[in-house]
Structure 1
């Protein structure tokens, strides 16, 4: 069975769009809202929820990947997911410096079980 253009891929895309994209939009919009204090207070929790949803996608994809014969496509899908999450989390760290440590922890969690660690990830490592 192939992953590309399958019901499985459609479900992953739907989950991503309903959860991760909605969270991303909410986080990004928090910086431009009129009541900055109230909205910014929730940003840390939103970033953590974003991370958890990305990890859900990656975990499920890893668990189910052996079912698919187009392994190369599955790995590309996984890599694209990780790269998008890195891009978003890096953006959040710059947009909300007060939550840079949360973005850094999220990046580390996403990279924990992957060989796709980059210098960009290391540059957001939180130190006291």
Structure 2
């Protein structure tokens, strides 16, 4: 006796087309994540350089603030700290009751030279 034709049975699982579509969608997501990671790393590197520059300026301002007003009046200088170039000019105000400090910070960020300028005024005790 010949075998009776079998009814098609439904197998559990995914078809080849479904698997390929899932792989394409997953690949697009992973590529997007990788591209975003590169941008985040560049931004973090820039933030580190800017933080170092601000710290260098802050340190200079603190040294000037705690120094001798009369000795520092109308002086200037340059320094390089952690690959950050700094140039400052100290100007005494009329009557020498205050110092105005101009501090320019220069650093390299992604191959480009950047500058940040800080200006502040410190009171001097009258003699």
Superposition TM-score, scaled by structure 1 size: 0.34
Q: Please say which structure displays the higher CA radius of gyration.
A: 2
Structure with the bigger RCO (C-alpha within 8 Å, sep 6+) is 1
More helix by share: 1
